[in-house]
Structure 1
Amino acid sequence: MMVAPVANGAAIAAHSSEGDLVKAEEAKQQANKDFKEKHYAKAVAGYTTALQYNPNSEILYSNRAFAHIRLENFGSAVADATKAVELNPRFAKGLYRRGDAYYALGKFKLALKDLKAAVRLTSKDPDLRRKLADCEKEVKRLRFEEALAVPEEIEVPVAQTIDLASMLVEESYTGPRMSGDNEKGYQLTLDFAKAMLEHFREQKSIHRRFAFQIILQAREILKALPSLVDVPVAQGGHITVCGDVHGQFYDLLNIFKLNGLPAEDSPYLFNGDFVDRGSFSLEVILTLLAFKVLYPQHMHLARGNHESKGMNKIYGFEGEVKHKYNAIMADLFRETFCWLPLAHVLDGRVLVVHGGLFSQDEVTLDDLRRIDRYREPPEEGLMCELLWSDPQASEGRSPSKRGVGVAFGPDVTRRFLAANKLDLLVRSHEVKDEGYEVDHDGYCVTVFSAPNYCDQMGNKGAFIRFNGGDMTPQFTTYTAVPHPDVKPMAYASAMGGIWGF
């Protein structure tokens, strides 16, 4: 039995007055312009205005979904694309948008269903067919991994399978060398770290022996830490907090130029999302781990939502590591990321987490300390929300625009801080035009340290300095610096090919 298709958006829009349709088209054209100029938040606002005048346009919902995808608000993108498909079940672009958003969330089976449906309607689009092929590969990979899965209790850690002694450093290797030799063992020094940074600046790799050693040593240090780390800040001392870096190595070098290298008298906390998106993620994470080994009490690293297996497969880090080294190193990073702490408390007064707060009240710092973090991030619960949640302007809580975590209001922040005798919440996880933003009456600060994110957002980067004693945040902002002509997502799976207008 054939079912007649729902009328398309143009027919339904007849319920809007002619004047309303004119206003909707004007708002749409301005939103399209904002989108093309990469002002994605303005584009969302523009499409929202257009929808107020023409609420039954599948094209407007689809366009707004596209802007949400660019903002990484994948939950909102799914909702908008779903509305577009409800208005017109044969609207291929709506199916594609929803499939793309599901793909970005790692929900490959749902993505595959939508992409197949879109291909049936628009079979000749090459970008859509490439995305479908990539999604099919991911679904096959998941089924293969499920078939070969080893029970967790008998799985051998990757770290235990690596034999550093067998990795000889050839005489022909001309890069920086750790002190010592293969027979007596190598030692990571500050001189090596500095030479490594210059080597990376020239787009060269260090020997795999040294790379593996950095990761293994850092893994052991991280493994010994609790899920919530208390960080003292002495009177007269300070600490610098950085947000997302996302593989932008040359901007990381600029942070060090502006603020100094990590050292005992120059401590840092990098608040997650070190990797993915940017195509120098390996250089970023090896740099941060090397300084963690050098200064374990003064270089602090928190887990972000992108320090996870699923994100790394989609957004480039796994592909980059395999390209520059091998799959074993990618597995070792996956294992090491599971040992990253989830939260830090500075001087007993400032909580620093990557994402934000929780879907329930009465969460305590001791609850965070008790989280069993050695796992891939779950889709709900305290660990998930620490990595994924975002603040909102309105009171209370709302479903997350990302499709994971929760949106929490000023009242939630105030209650949590008061109950845990804290002064301030610092988090990252979101691009901000100025590199930082102060919300919730001054009690919630977002810091983002990747300027001109993905070479397209035009935002500044920022870091925060807290001085011991008053612990008042002091912000430094900066713009992006030039980098070699390697595009973001160069090693990612096929995330491109999203349709234009």
Structure 2
Amino acid sequence: MSEKIGEKVIFTSAEKFKNEANVFFKNKEYDRAIEMYTKAIELDPKNAVYYANRSLAHLRLEMFGSSLEDGILAVKNDPTYLKGYYRRAAAQMSLGKFKKALMDFEFVAKRRPNDRDAAMKYSECNKLVRKAAFEKAISSDIPEKTLAELHSDLDSIEIEDDYDGPKLENGKVTLEFMENLMEYYKDQKKLHRKYAYKILCEIDVYLRSQPSLVDITVPDESKFTICGDIHGQFFDLMNIFKLNGLPSEHNPYLFNGDFVDRGSFSVECIFTLFGFKLLYPNHFFLSRGNHESYNMNQMYGFSGEVVAKYTNTMSTMFTQVYNFLPLCHCINKRVLVMHGGLFAQDNVTLDDLRNIERNRQPPEEGLMCDLLWSDPQPGQGRGFSKRGVGIQFGPDITEKFCTQNGLDYIVRSHEVKAMGYEVAHGGKCITVFSAPNYCDTMDNLGAFITLNGKDIDKPNFTTYQAVPHPNVKPMAYASSLMSLIG
């Protein structure tokens, strides 16, 4: 009898923690929710519901690896708990493992043959699997051709008489074009598809000529700005230019990846950034992020947005362009900037980074993967990545890498920070994130870094709040599965 009473007390206490976690989750305090779910699990480690709930909280924080681990544990502890399969599938999809996710959706659909929701999820995931296979097949047939060669028929597109938007001058981007384009976008109007295609073809040719590591020189008295993730928040991008000035030969910028996805103005962001890159190729720089990839774009909205605003053809064109984005930049041979972080192996040199073959989708391991996906950790050494891709690296790893390569510090992005930035590892690892109130839910500030060539060892931080935007919610164009698996 006393044993049953003890079990009841444990269950009641665990349920109390779970209920507290649910409140934190509802209030979007996902870290606190994870903490409470963990306490519930410690008391009742066989309860599949607790693992499934924690899996979803990890998913909201983009900790896909931890989310997958909890999804697996939910299914292991209760193979009949179908929501566990959904959680595992959600994590698999977020990692781009569509085939494995499909197996879970199929499992549920077979056990609930009359459940329309289960059938729809299986059908939608199956479409993604088939589309991914098709894209892979056609891309491997023609890897060397430029977009202009592949789509020469686009030159014949006519400009309608009633189009009143910005126009390229003799096929080239000018400052007037860029100023008009940004104002046009603020009015929620769309650049003509002929000019959009032209910009993509031009940027494709340019990026092919770039190395995987781009060296940047900032003169002694010159200013240089580094921005982190933008994630389709166009109106916050405009606020950066308002606060810090438009890009120019005297006001250079580096945008450090994740230009698109989640925010529903990703098309406007990417054409603005590509336009400035074409206008100021030696003073405006773009690094690839983990979201400049096919799988991420399929899940988190960019592909859907491009198809909604233009065509599926254009979505495929972006996939090719992203493959040629540089992976990192080195400023004055003293500061290395990449989207994610450092490496699973020791003794990596800058020449190793220059020699990366980047014309591909991000691999699941290796230098390119780590540059796009890794995160710092406070503890020494290397650790398991909660994202399920890349690694976590400690201050000793950063110190050794900087010493071996003659660097003062590294700058990376990839993580939401409450203040928009964070200085870690004794000042040698700086994170900058430039999308304030990320996804309209996180209440974080955005930030950018300004450097002076003479005092490059003294980064300056500017923080700012989110600005209003039109009533289009984040993830408006995301895969329909994203709204269902949560």
Is TM-score (shorter-chain normalized) higher than 0.5?
yes
Q: Is 1:53 equivalent to 2:39 in the alignment?
A: no
**1:201–1:250 Cα contact (<8 Å) kept:** yes
Q: Which residue of 1 aligns with 2:150?
A: 161
* Correspondences of 1:404-443 after superposition (within 5 Å): 404-443=389-428
**1:356–1:388 Cα contact (<8 Å) kept:** yes
* Correspondences of 1:314-393 after superposition (within 5 Å): 314-393=299-378
Match of 1:458 among 431, 443, 450: 443
Q: For the residues of structure 2 that align with 1:466 and 1:14, how far apart are their CA atoms?
A: 65
Once the two structures are overlaid, the 10-residue window that deviates more, 341-350 or 434-443, is: 434-443
Q: Which residue of 2 aligns with 1:82?
A: 72
Q: Is 1:217 equivalent to 2:217 in the alignment?
A: no
Q: Which residue of 1 aligns with 2:481?
A: 495
Q: For the residues of structure 1 that align with 2:425 and 2:108, how far apart are their CA atoms?
A: 42
Aligned CA RMSD, in angstroms, stands at 2.1
Shift of 1:19: 4.7
Q: Which residue of 2 aligns with 1:173?
A: 163
Q: Which residue of 1 aligns with 2:191?
A: 206
Match of 1:486 among 445, 469, 472: 472
Q: For the residues of structure 2 that align with 1:123 and 1:103, how far apart are their CA atoms?
A: 23
Q: For the residues of structure 2 that align with 1:490 and 1:189, how far apart are their CA atoms?
A: 32
Shift of 1:290: 0.5
CA deviation map 1:149-169 (0-9, x unaligned)? 65456x644331333542332
* Correspondences of 1:69-108 after superposition (within 5 Å): 69-108=59-98
CA deviation map 1:126-168 (0-9, x unaligned)? 5544322211112233444566665456x64433133354233
* TM-score using structure 1 length: 0.91
Structure 1's 127 and 441: CA in aligned 2 closer, same or farther, altered over 3 A?
farther
Q: Secondary structure of the residue that 1:186 maps to in structure 2?
A: coil
Structure 1's 409 and 132: CA in aligned 2 closer, same or farther, altered over 3 A?
same
Structure 1's 178 and 156: CA in aligned 2 closer, same or farther, altered over 3 A?
closer
Q: Secondary structure of the residue that 1:187 maps to in structure 2?
A: coil
Q: Secondary structure of the residue that 2:340 maps to in structure 1?
A: coil
In percent, how many aligned pairs have the same letter?
52
Q: For the residues of structure 2 that align with 1:424 and 1:366, how far apart are their CA atoms?
A: 17
Q: Which residue of 1 aligns with 2:285?
A: 300
Q: For the residues of structure 2 that align with 1:24 and 1:234, how far apart are their CA atoms?
A: 60
CA deviation map 1:184-208 (0-9, x unaligned)? x333211110010010011101112
Q: Secondary structure of the residue that 2:254 maps to in structure 1?
A: strand
| 1:491 aligned partner, one-letter code | Y
Structure 1's 159 and 375: CA in aligned 2 closer, same or farther, altered over 3 A?
farther
**1:90–1:121 Cα contact (<8 Å) kept:** no
Q: Secondary structure of the residue that 1:305 maps to in structure 2?
A: coil
CA deviation map 1:230-268 (0-9, x unaligned)? 111111111111111011111111111111111111111
Q: For the residues of structure 2 that align with 1:221 and 1:76, how far apart are their CA atoms?
A: 39
Q: Which residue of 1 aligns with 2:259?
A: 274
Q: Secondary structure of the residue that 2:31 maps to in structure 1?
A: helix
**1:65–1:81 Cα contact (<8 Å) kept:** yes
CA deviation map 1:384-432 (0-9, x unaligned)? 1110111112211122111111111111111111111111111111111
Shift of 1:354: 0.4
**2:267–2:305 Cα contact (<8 Å) kept:** yes
Match of 1:111 among 83, 101, 107: 101
Q: Secondary structure of the residue that 1:345 maps to in structure 2?
A: strand
**1:16–1:54 Cα contact (<8 Å) kept:** no
Structure 1's 418 and 16: CA in aligned 2 closer, same or farther, altered over 3 A?
farther
Once the two structures are overlaid, the 10-residue window that deviates more, 212-221 or 158-167, is: 158-167
**2:224–2:251 Cα contact (<8 Å) kept:** yes
Once the two structures are overlaid, the 10-residue window that deviates more, 79-88 or 19-28, is: 19-28
Q: Secondary structure of the residue that 2:480 maps to in structure 1?
A: coil
Structure 1's 16 and 214: CA in aligned 2 closer, same or farther, altered over 3 A?
farther
Q: Secondary structure of the residue that 1:469 maps to in structure 2?
A: helix
Q: For the residues of structure 1 that align with 2:10 and 2:407, how far apart are their CA atoms?
A: 50
Shift of 1:108: 1.1
Q: For the residues of structure 1 that align with 2:243 and 2:133, how far apart are their CA atoms?
A: 48
**2:402–2:408 Cα contact (<8 Å) kept:** yes
Q: Which residue of 2 aligns with 1:27?
A: 17
| 2:398 aligned partner, one-letter code | T
**2:340–2:375 Cα contact (<8 Å) kept:** yes
| 1:161 aligned partner, one-letter code | L
Q: Which residue of 2 aligns with 1:139?
A: 129
CA deviation map 1:293-312 (0-9, x unaligned)? 11111110000011111211
Q: Which residue of 1 aligns with 2:459?
A: 473
**2:146–2:204 Cα contact (<8 Å) kept:** no
Structure 1's 25 and 360: CA in aligned 2 closer, same or farther, altered over 3 A?
same
Q: For the residues of structure 1 that align with 2:72 and 2:324, how far apart are their CA atoms?
A: 37
| 2:424 aligned partner, one-letter code | D
Shift of 1:116: 2.1
Q: Which residue of 2 aligns with 1:3?
A: none
Shift of 1:22: 4.0
Shift of 1:17: 5.1
Structure 1's 90 and 445: CA in aligned 2 closer, same or farther, altered over 3 A?
same
Q: For the residues of structure 2 that align with 1:148 and 1:335, how far apart are their CA atoms?
A: 12
**2:146–2:201 Cα contact (<8 Å) kept:** no
* Correspondences of 1:114-129 after superposition (within 5 Å): 114-121=104-111, 127-129=117-119
Structure 1's 94 and 203: CA in aligned 2 closer, same or farther, altered over 3 A?
same
Q: Which residue of 2 aligns with 1:182?
A: none
Number of aligned positions between the proteins: 482
Q: Which residue of 1 aligns with 2:235?
A: 250
**1:365–1:420 Cα contact (<8 Å) kept:** yes
Unaligned runs of 5+ in 2: none
CA deviation map 1:9-34 (0-9, x unaligned)? xxxx9797555444433322222111
Q: Secondary structure of the residue that 2:410 maps to in structure 1?
A: strand
Q: Secondary structure of the residue that 1:496 maps to in structure 2?
A: helix
**1:131–1:497 Cα contact (<8 Å) kept:** no
Q: For the residues of structure 2 that align with 1:390 and 1:190, how far apart are their CA atoms?
A: 37
Structure 1's 72 and 161: CA in aligned 2 closer, same or farther, altered over 3 A?
same
